[in-house]
Amino acid sequence: MIDSVVIVGGGTAGWMTASYLKAAFGDRLGVTLVESEQVSRIGVGEATFSTVRHFFDYLGLDESEWLPQCAGGYKLGIRFENWRAPGHHFYHPFERLRSVDGFSLADWWLRIGDHSRPFDRQCFITSALCEAKSSPRLMDGSMFSTELDGPLGRSTLEEQRAQFPYAYHFDADLVAKFLAKYSTDRGVRHVTDDVVEVGQDERGWLSHVTTKEHGRIEGDLFVDCTGFRGLLINKTLDETFESFQDVLPNNRAVALRVPREEATEMNPYTTATAMEAGWIWTIPLFRRNGNGYVYSDEYITPDEAEQTLRNFAAPGRDDLEANHIRMRIGRNQRSWVKNCVAIGLSSAFVEPLESTGIFFIQHGIEQLVKHFPDKRWDPRLAADYNDRVAHVVDGVKEFLVLHYAAAARDDTPYWKEAKVRAMPEGLKERLASARSHLLDEESIYPRYHGFESYSWNAMLMGLGSEPERPRPALAHIDPVGAEREFARLKTEADQMVAALPSCYDYLASLHA
């Protein structure tokens, strides 16, 4: 039996891992987390994916308990601005497409939808809630989609059946602090110190880490949560990192934390605004925005990117400190090598366009618990783990490349290049199919990667890459059922907008 796990790194990845291992295994496993005060956390990573709900429920935490302590807000989806053309916007919501007579509402929209109005606002309820800046919860705390209300218990991503309708925005440092308290209250040993050496035995397996002040810390299994450094997995075990830069060229970001003390409005979505050489995120937390420009330094310099971001997000606030980040885009060939598992930025990172960093962490931790080894170190456990992690990351990579390849915008060298750049082979085929008909579960990236066909279609339609014509089969089906569904969806959306409080009002009561 494995007795002790040593986690190196106390960012979001480190503390999510520590708290989840404690929730899963309790006192049957010793967990030590070492984090440096000298090496700061990445300081970004504040928009999440709807499945993060499973993580907090697994820990036994209701959002009313942790969200206010983390300056949190709601995220019903992502609003994409200017990706198709200047002034155009659409939403990628957390909402599955309804289906009528075996065809998705998006298929029906192509045949009978009102093409003078945007696709997303006719096919999803959530888009109306975003436009109205609504909270997904009523003032009494109940959720608009009652079938999904209530705790999910100790469920995992694999057990996810329903599409939870929202995710969260939160302050990354406050989440780390919150989870640190959760973990240490449950027995995680917390060592604040610098790891200065990583010890290996004669087989090359990790035996201990040496810290500046606390000496040697030994363990059976080591979790590398040291961020882009990959101190254990890359620097010590020399695992190869496969770059995705050939298909995802953004390699830098600059971020600002912009106070919003006086605001009495709040967007219930992340905004991704296309810029000349990349895109800017706007993540509304309760009293501030997180903003950042993700770009490729082939097209714009860091100084230009910072100035563009300042003009966009914080004019006149030259006092705010900018955080320049060099991004390592890609994944380790294997995230589990010998007795070391990398989780977080040390394992993999694609750019933050669909907020998948924390989702990768959650997936990695769940798979670690599922494939947890004993001292026989059965290599098939590690092999299966590596296979699943690789497929999730590769699927998200394809989905992100689609964002650039399918975007109608082509007014600058950056956007022109995005149309002719290399792309993963599988994606090329999928995009060719999508010119003929919308994608279904069989025709998106085939392995689990978090995104369903509705996401792929919401992006294709929103970005301006619609199929050339509706599915021919629909010409043989009476559209009356679909017409009724479009009308029902609009009525439901109108009723919800009328009933739900604003996102700000609901959160103000929660934070109070």
Taking the least distance from each CB to ligand FAD, the nearer of 212 and 469 is: 212
Q: How many residues does the chain have?
A: 512
Smallest distance, Å, CB 351 to ligand FAD? Answer: 7
The residues with which 330 forms a beta bridge, in sequence order, are 243, 349
DSSP code of 231? I
Contact residue for ligand FAD among 230, 352, 373, 467 (CB under 6 A): 352
Q: How far apart are the first and last CA of the chain?
A: 46
Is residue 93 at the binding interface for ligand FAD, with CB under 6 A as the rule? no
Is residue 364 at the binding interface for ligand FAD, with CB under 6 A as the rule? no
How far is residue 156's CA from residue 8's CA, in Å, rounded to a whole number? 24
Smallest distance, Å, CB 60 to ligand FAD? Answer: 22
Is residue 35 at the binding interface for ligand FAD, with CB under 6 A as the rule? yes
Is residue 77 at the binding interface for ligand FAD, with CB under 6 A as the rule? no
The amino acid occupying position 387 is D
Is residue 365 at the binding interface for ligand FAD, with CB under 6 A as the rule? no
Asked if 506 contacts 139 with a C-beta cutoff of 8 angstroms, the reply is yes
Is residue 471 at the binding interface for ligand FAD, with CB under 6 A as the rule? no
Contact residue for ligand FAD among 21, 23, 45, 288 (CB under 6 A): 45
Smallest distance, Å, CB 367 to ligand FAD? Answer: 16
Smallest distance, Å, CB 482 to ligand FAD? Answer: 36
Smallest distance, Å, CB 224 to ligand FAD? Answer: 9
Taking the least distance from each CB to ligand FAD, the nearer of 34 and 489 is: 34
Is residue 219 at the binding interface for ligand FAD, with CB under 6 A as the rule? no
β-pairing, 288-295 vs 278-284, is: antiparallel
Asked if 397 contacts 248 with a C-beta cutoff of 8 angstroms, the reply is yes
The residues with which 337 forms a beta bridge, in sequence order, are 340
Paired tokens of 4: 């002790």
Chain-centre distance of CA 468, in angstroms? 31
Taking the least distance from each CB to ligand FAD, the nearer of 308 and 356 is: 356
The contact pattern for ligand FAD, residues 47-66, with x = CB under 6 A and - = no contact, is: xx------------------
Please, what is the angle between helix 105-112 and helix 480-499, to 10°?
A: 110
Contact residue for ligand FAD among 172, 179, 256, 423 (CB under 6 A): 172
Contact residue for ligand FAD among 5, 18, 42, 266 (CB under 6 A): 42
Is residue 44 at the binding interface for ligand FAD, with CB under 6 A as the rule? yes
Q: In what order do the strands lie in the sheet with 241-243?
A: 241-243, 330-332, 348-349
Taking the least distance from each CB to ligand FAD, the nearer of 312 and 377 is: 312
Taking the least distance from each CB to ligand FAD, the nearer of 392 and 438 is: 392
Taking the least distance from each CB to ligand FAD, the nearer of 285 and 434 is: 285
- Closest C-alpha to 19, from 53, 52, 56: 56
Q: What is the dihedral sign for C-alpha 92, 93, 94, 97?
A: negative
Smallest distance, Å, CB 286 to ligand FAD? Answer: 16
Smallest distance, Å, CB 194 to ligand FAD? Answer: 5
How far is residue 312's CA from residue 38's CA, in Å, rounded to a whole number? 32
The amino acid occupying position 292 is G
β-pairing, 30-35 vs 73-75, is: unpaired
How far is residue 15's CA from residue 177's CA, in Å, rounded to a whole number? 8
Binding to ligand FAD (CB under 6 A) within 225-254 occurs at 225-227, 229, 231, 253
Is residue 490 at the binding interface for ligand FAD, with CB under 6 A as the rule? no
Paired tokens of 450: 């978090």
Q: Between the CA of residue 354 and those of 263, 270, 302, what are the distances in Å?
A: 26, 9, 23
Is residue 278 at the binding interface for ligand FAD, with CB under 6 A as the rule? no
User: Tokens 């689609």 appear where?
Assistant: 402
How far is residue 233's CA from residue 186's CA, in Å, rounded to a whole number? 27
- Closest C-alpha to 164, from 214, 82, 96: 96
Contact residue for ligand FAD among 230, 284, 292, 450 (CB under 6 A): 292
Spell out the SS3 assignment of 69-119: HHCCEEECEEEEECCCCCCCEEEEECCCCCEECCEEHHHHHHHHCCCCCCH
Q: Between the CA of residue 461 and those of 106, 205, 271, 294, 487, what are the distances in Å?
A: 9, 49, 18, 23, 20
Is residue 329 at the binding interface for ligand FAD, with CB under 6 A as the rule? no
Is residue 206 at the binding interface for ligand FAD, with CB under 6 A as the rule? no
Smallest distance, Å, CB 278 to ligand FAD? Answer: 11
Smallest distance, Å, CB 467 to ligand FAD? Answer: 31
From the candidates 22, 75, 133, 397, which is the catalytic residue? 75
Q: Between the CA of residue 493 and those of 14, 76, 111, 159, what are the distances in Å?
A: 40, 14, 22, 28
Is residue 73 at the binding interface for ligand FAD, with CB under 6 A as the rule? no
Smallest distance, Å, CB 139 to ligand FAD? Answer: 28
Is residue 194 at the binding interface for ligand FAD, with CB under 6 A as the rule? yes
Is residue 36 at the binding interface for ligand FAD, with CB under 6 A as the rule? yes
Is residue 382 at the binding interface for ligand FAD, with CB under 6 A as the rule? no
Contact residue for ligand FAD among 325, 390, 400, 444 (CB under 6 A): 325
Active site residue 75: yes
- Closest C-alpha to 389, from 455, 328, 450: 450
Contact residue for ligand FAD among 5, 6, 13, 474 (CB under 6 A): 13
Is residue 11 at the binding interface for ligand FAD, with CB under 6 A as the rule? yes
Helix (H, G, I), strand (E, B) or coil at 303: helix
- Interface with ligand FAD (CB under 6 A): 8-14, 34-36, 39, 41-42, 44-48, 172, 194-195, 225-227, 229, 231, 253, 292, 325, 327, 344-346, 352, 355-358, 361
Q: Which residues are known catalytic residues?
A: 75
